[in-house]
Structure formats: structure tokens, C-alpha cells
A and B are shown apart, each in its own frame.
Chain A
């Protein structure tokens, strides 16, 4: 035991008793130290950033942000053990991507198994970012749910949760997305093709190489020149439309 490196663990669950149980199960493992506990997703985002724990016990169904949203915001992939009571959708995804998870209520033996695996992975720390479970988590976060319902943006210490229906348009700017909401512009590091895949294709349309618009905010299609089109949004903003974008738009509207 003493030869093993110490593991610093964070326990995230909105139920006091659930956190208590994990702490109790961890008492038998002298090499694991609980460095923090969080009772909601927002708190978890902050703590993961501040403490950079080696291991996170992460509940899926939480107030404010779900477990997967926490991972999206923090960019954390390795050293995560999911816990959930019942979530058919999540469990299928866990199985598919070979990610470790604990189904509540879980036995001490099952818990120890998961911990042992996490320890082994952590020991080969160099490979951890590229490990199979970490890649599984990556796939899980990128493809969660059927369609994206809210966009999460981290702005230093603050987290903005934006319902997609409020988004007017999204513009690709280098490695960032500029997301227009109520006259404000939020920056998020993500590729436009990635968010295009996550958004509901009947409500959002990529009208240009670097623009996605929310069809509910579309007011008119203008024609500033021969063979050139632009979308006027309700806010008054104008967005260029490419030729293929115009074809797609005509099919939808």
C-alpha cells in the first residue's frame, strides 16, 4: 500500500448520504485522500479547476449542471468514476464507451474494483490522457443526449448556461465560437462542425462555412447582389449565406 502514489479524490453528489457512503468506503484505502466534496455541478466545475484531483466520483443527475456537462466545461477526461442510480440512456453510453461507472446502491467489493482500476490507470500517468477510458469519456461528452438543449460557456470564474432557443447565431472565429445571445457575444473554444452536429438540424442551420443561424431568429433573406444572399436576424444583424447554405435554407423554409 505504502508504495502506491497517493490519490487525491473529489466526491460530487447532491445527496449528503451518497457522499457519506463513498467517504466510508474510502476509509479502508489509506492511499486515497478526499480533498473536497461538491453538492452541485457548478461547484464541481470550480473545485475540479482549483484542486485538480486525481480521481473524481461524479454523479450524473445533479442540479445546475449534469455530470457530463461538468466534464465538458472542465475538459477533464481521465480519472473519472461515474455514479448513478438509474439512467438508461447514460448506462447504455457507459457500456458503449467502456467507461467505469457505479450503479447505486453499489457494494464495497464493486467499489474496490473500480478504485483498483482507477489506481492502475493513474499509475501509468503518462498514458492516462490517451487511455481507453479517457477516450471513452471524450466520446461520451461529445455525443451526449440526442440534441443539445443548452450551451455551457465558462468565463473565468463564471459559468453561463444558455438555452439554445435564445442563441441567435454562431460564428466561427479561429479556434473559438462567437455565440450571439441577446446582443451579447460569448466566446467558447470549440469547432463549428462539432457544435453543428450537436444542434437540432431542424432548428439550426449552417448557412455559411463560418456561420450557424437559429431559424427561429431569422427575419428575412436579403439579396445584396446577384448570386449573393444574406440573412437578416430579428436583432438586425446580417449574416452571409453561401450558395450551398442558400439551397439548404430554401429546402427548410
Chain B
């Protein structure tokens, strides 16, 4: 929509300007003795009103010819044609008004129109429209530049957010420092376990760093990463934490964005297993059905758990990432019953080509 039409205040100012122009025109006609005051005003004011909207249509003419896709012969003939047509409209509107004044309202034309005036009206109307076309071209170019700058700033912010997000996921300080504390404890009485945990931690971070740089990884690779993560968490939480991963061979070959499954497991431990007195089992199922990769994570939750702060932030992050990468084609849903929390993801199947 034209910026003037979209904003009532701008439109009002614009129409007032035309009103002044209409009065000016009437004064000119009066001074030239072409009309009396009433006739001149009855003629110029409606004309100004019609004309004010007519020149706004130049906006759409300009928009139909985006600057970068212009073929100049086409554009020039379009601009010229539109201007000439507008000249005719201007002339026609004037004549119609005169006809109304002369034959219907008061039996005398509003203004006298010698044939020289016809040419003047026609050329004046055309020139004005051409001017409007050029002004709108400048306006649109200005808008485009602004829009591009805004979009660029926006995408920069988004990119930085995504990067920070990734870094935070990679190096969750809570996870890192707690794991180091567990290793510190293990060195005292089970050095072999301490060594294993160190290796798991190193493997987890090494894989995270490597995978996070890629846009898509196979579910199999994500599962390997998640197994290191689970091995570390099992040391921390002991018998409380069990996990069953059922990944179909076909599903393991599907591609998905890195760090999709691991945050789901992290969420299941943080808000599920950890809050339940006796702990429990996290169940992961992944399979391919009708062209969709289907991943479900189910974990027990405490019955009387009243969520503390930060609940669900991790899940919202996954949802946002999937929305950016897949748009409407990815589905993520979660639900909680009294004792279980289920999260399901559906992605269109995408396999590595040549693999």
C-alpha cells in the first residue's frame, strides 16, 4: 500500500497541500478572467481531489518495475504511456466538471476553456504525472535501501544469537564444572573410573566442536555424541539414571541439525530424572515412517514437581532452531502427564547423498 494511504496523518497533510494548490489554481483562473470565484473554486477543488489520488497511482507503476529488473525501453514506454493517459484523465475530469457546472448546476460553465487551454491541461497533467513517477522512484529507492540495511542488521543479530547458542550448548558450564568435580572425587578412590570419565568428557567436547561446525549430521553421529554425554551423566547420578536408546538402522542414516538429540536428553535429566527420588529410565525411539524421521524421548517426572525457573528454555531453543532450518516442515511437540514427560520431533527424511 502507498505510504500516504497507510498513514491517515500523512494523507491529511498531503490532501491539505493539494487544497492549497487548488486554491492557488483558482486564483490564477480568476486573475486570468477565465472564471468568477465560485466557478473557479467549484472547478479546481474537485479537480485537485481527483488529481491528488491519480498521481499516487504512480507508486504502483514504479513498484511494478523494480529498479534492478528494469528493461529501459519497456519502462520508458510504460512511464510515457501512463503520463499521457493521466493527461487525458486530467483533461477529461476538467471537461466533466465544466459539463456538470454548465448543463446541470447553474447553466453556465465553471470556467471558460478555449482550445489552447485543452492542450495546456493535457500537457500539464502529463508533466505532473511524470514528475510524480520520478519522485516515487526516488522514494522507493530510499525505502529499499533502508529495508536492506534493516534486514542486514537483523540477520547479523540472528547469526550472532545462533552462534552464542551453539557455544552455550557446547560448553554448558554447569555440566563441565560438575563433571570435573566428579572426576576430582573419583581420583581419590577409583582412578580407573576417573580416567574413563576424563576420556568421555574429552570425547564429548571434541565431537561437539567438530559436529557443531557442520550444518547437518547423521542421527548416528549424534547418538555417538549423546552416548558419551550419557556415560558422563551416569557417573554423576549413578543408579538414578538409566537410558534405553532404540535407533533403527534406517533412522541412524538420516540427517538432522547437530545438537538436536543431546539437548533433549539434557532436558530429560535436568527436569526429569534428577527431580525423581529413585531416578528412572530415559527412553529414546527413533524410526523412519512414510518419509518422516520420528524421534521420541520419554522420561519420568516427579509427580508434585513445581517447576523452578528456567524450565523449558532448552526445548524452546530446539523448536526455534528447527523452525529456522525447516520452517513449517518440522514438527516438535511435548506433553507432560502426572509421571511422564514426552517430547516428539518429526523431520522430513533427508539422507546423505552417495553415502
A interface, CB within 8 angstroms of B: 14-18, 20-21, 24, 40, 61, 63-64, 66, 85-87, 103-106, 145, 149-150, 161-163
The answer to whether B235 touches A105 (Cβ under 8 A) is no
The answer to whether B306 touches A20 (Cβ under 8 A) is no
**CB of B281 within 8 Å of the partner chain:** no
Residues of B close to A162: CB separation below 8 A: 306
Q: How far is the CA of A7 from the CA of B322 in the complex (A)?
A: 54
Q: How far is the CA of A61 from the CA of B238 in the complex (A)?
A: 18
Residues of A close to B274: CB separation below 8 A: 14, 63
Residues of A close to B186: CB separation below 8 A: 17
**CB of B331 within 8 Å of the partner chain:** no
Residues of A close to B177: CB separation below 8 A: 85-86, 103-105
Which partner residue on chain B sits nearest A14 by CB separation?
Answer: B274
Would you list which residues of chain B between 256 and 313 have a CB under 8 Å from chain A? 274-277, 302, 304, 306-309
The answer to whether A15 touches B182 (Cβ under 8 A) is yes
Which partner residue on chain A sits nearest B194 by CB separation?
Answer: A17
**CB of B73 within 8 Å of the partner chain:** no
Q: How far is the CA of A86 from the CA of B181 in the complex (A)?
A: 11
Number of chain B residues close to chain A: CB under 8 A: 28
The answer to whether A63 touches B238 (Cβ under 8 A) is no
The answer to whether B238 touches A21 (Cβ under 8 A) is no
Which partner residue on chain B sits nearest A18 by CB separation?
Answer: B181
**CB of B50 within 8 Å of the partner chain:** no
Q: How far is the CA of A5 from the CA of B236 in the complex (A)?
A: 34
The answer to whether A15 touches B236 (Cβ under 8 A) is yes
Which of B185, B186, B304 has the largest number of chain A CB atoms within 10 A? B185
Which partner residue on chain A sits nearest B276 by CB separation?
Answer: A63
Residues of A close to B114: CB separation below 8 A: none
The answer to whether A149 touches B309 (Cβ under 8 A) is yes
Checking B178, B277, B306 against A85 with a beta-carbon cut-off of 8 angstroms, the contacting residue is B178
Checking A17, A106, A163 against B182 with a beta-carbon cut-off of 8 angstroms, the contacting residue is A17
The answer to whether B189 touches A24 (Cβ under 8 A) is yes
Which partner residue on chain B sits nearest A64 by CB separation?
Answer: B275
Cβ of B198 to closest chain A Cβ, rounded Å: 12
Would you list which residues of chain B between 131 and 183 have a CB under 8 Å from chain A? 173-174, 176-178, 180-183
Residues of A close to B309: CB separation below 8 A: 145, 149
Checking A14, A40, A105, A145 against B181 with a beta-carbon cut-off of 8 angstroms, the contacting residue is A105
The answer to whether A104 touches B178 (Cβ under 8 A) is yes
Which partner residue on chain B sits nearest A16 by CB separation?
Answer: B238
Q: How far is the CA of A85 from the CA of B176 in the complex (A)?
A: 8
Which partner residue on chain B sits nearest A61 by CB separation?
Answer: B174
The answer to whether A17 touches B308 (Cβ under 8 A) is no
Q: How far is the CA of A105 from the CA of B174 in the complex (A)?
A: 11
Residues of B close to A24: CB separation below 8 A: 185, 188-189
